[in-house]
Amino acid sequence: EKGGYDYFMLKEIAEQPKAVADTLLGRIDPSGSLTLDEVRISPSELREIDKVVIVACGTAFHAGLIAKYAIEHWTRIPCEVELASEFRYRDPILDGRSLVIAISQSGETMDTLMALRHAREQGSKVLAICNTNGSTIPRESDAVLYTHAGPEVAVASTKAFLTQLVACYLVALYLGQVRGTKWGDEIQAVIKDLSRISEEVERVLETMEPVRALARTLAAKNTVLFLGRHVGYPVALEGALKLKELAYMHAEGFAAGELKHGPIALIEEDVPVVVVVPSPRGRSVIHDKIVSNIQEIRARGARTIVIAEEGDETVVPYADHLIRIPATPTLLQPLVATVPLQVFACELATARGNEVDQPRNLAKSVTVE
Ligand code: F6R
């Protein structure tokens, strides 16, 4: 049932192009507009929303962090993202005009469930983004947008994460479409790019051998750091989480702009630092700032592992290892940038002799608070 792969995780990483395509299927009509019939919150209700609050745990929380950039950019609705376990106990400000989005692969995560129950008690509408049909979280929500990743068996989430991102983009674009936004043309263009993105994910998967080889050389390291900015920041957090879970290594993700506010003190000779570089097109200021960060850490001895768009030559002089990803619109980059980090963590864990599908101390679905 592992379909010829040694681990479910490898199989699930390989299934990502299909998972992404399946999650988009039937949701983009030929005219290029979105039809999310399942979202049974009416367009007039969606037009009344004055705040979006996303609650989730772990990897799903990282998807939520990325969703915030998309939602705020395309809809101009303020969006907060909070760990479900923190949300409920701080008496959050919610009312009938708040849309709460609960993201969960399993649909059974107790923290997320308790957060959504609290939101509904405050009169907020809850939209679930979930991978498991008929599970508790969608059953208790006002509406659900299912991700179509298929069953995810490995404890570490991979294909579910990519499909959560797709669902989040769909919700953001749909809110933009329903409410009208000055980004109408950009939304049209992004919908087109999104409909082709599974091919880009496939292309990334075809180039992963050097990433695996690199991971094997790092098996004896104690620490790996991850840096990103804008949507690359949650990608860095996700890369670090995968490595903690699977390789049991000290792995931390930082916002690159925070480096000089503390984390740069961690940089020493030969510490591997993975840097997610945004597209040089679009928000080029951020790109240039990251390139200076790479120079700074390299000058202090870091071994730089740079994930950058094809054709971005500015990073070449400062990259000890360069991992190429296809060019995508800035906000969609996490769909391609996360894949090498999954492969990296999986291979490092294997090289350290760890059980990839069943990491120690972890359960696939956390049904206690
Ligand atoms: C990470 C991982 C966990 C889950 C988290 C939420 O690889 O698997 O961090 O993402 O426990 O689980 P769901 O999405 O089922 O609510």
| pLDDT tens-digit map of 149-178 | 999 999 899 999 999 999 999 999 999 988
Answer positive or negative: Cα dihedral of 31, 32, 38, 41: negative
- Active-site annotation holder among 2, 18, 221, 364: 364
Is residue 53 within 8 A of residue 94, CB to CB? The reply is yes
**256 vs 226: CA distance, rounded Å:** 9
Give the least confident one: 91-95, 124-128, 139-143, 178-182: 178-182
**13 vs 10: CA distance, rounded Å:** 5
For the cut 70, the answer to whether the pLDDT of residue 49 exceeds it is yes
Answer positive or negative: Cα dihedral of 260, 286, 303, 61: positive
Q: What does DSSP assign to residue 332?
A: G
Q: How confident is the model at residue 347 (pLDDT cuts 50, 70, 90)?
A: very high
For the cut 80, the answer to whether the pLDDT of residue 129 exceeds it is yes
Q: How confident is the model at residue 284 (pLDDT cuts 50, 70, 90)?
A: confident
Q: Map tokens 């959504």 to a residue.
A: 116
Predicted structure pTM score: 0.97
For the cut 80, the answer to whether the pLDDT of residue 289 exceeds it is yes
Q: How confident is the model at residue 358 (pLDDT cuts 50, 70, 90)?
A: confident
Q: Greater confidence, 35 or 220? A: 220
Residue 255 Cα distances to 116, 283, 304, angstroms: 28, 16, 16
Pocket around ligand 1: residues whose beta carbon is below 6 Å from it?
A: 57-60, 104-106, 109, 112, 156-157, 241, 245, 365-366
Between the CA of 60 and the centroid of ligand 1 the distance, in Å, is 6
Protein residue closest via CA to atom 16 of ligand 1: 104
- What pLDDT shows up at residue 369? 81
Q: Which two tokens stand for residue 109?
A: 């995560």
Active site residue 364: yes
- What pLDDT shows up at residue 241? 98
Mean residue pLDDT across the chain: 94
Give the least confident one: 34-48, 55-69, 243-257, 287-301: 34-48
- What pLDDT shows up at residue 41? 86
Q: How confident is the model at residue 47 (pLDDT cuts 50, 70, 90)?
A: very high
Helix runs in the chain, H state only: 8-14, 16-24, 43-48, 58-75, 84-87, 110-121, 136-139, 159-179, 184-205, 209-217, 232-247, 284-299, 334-351
Q: Which two tokens stand for residue 183?
A: 């980004």
- What pLDDT shows up at residue 29? 87
Is residue 246 within 8 A of residue 349, CB to CB? The reply is yes
Residue 47's Cβ-count burial label (10 Å; 0-12, 13-18, 19+) is exposed
For the cut 70, the answer to whether the pLDDT of residue 283 exceeds it is no
Ordered DSSP codes for 124-170: -EEEEEESSTT-HHHHTSSEEEE-------SSS-SHHHHHHHHHHHH
**167 vs 144: CA distance, rounded Å:** 10
Between the CA of 57 and the centroid of ligand 1 the distance, in Å, is 6
For the chain, percent of residues with pLDDT exceeding 70? 100
SS3 219: coil
Name, of 3-12, 182-191, 223-232, 277-286, the range with top average pLDDT.
223-232
Give the least confident one: 63-72, 217-226, 349-358: 349-358
Between the CA of 59 and the centroid of ligand 1 the distance, in Å, is 5
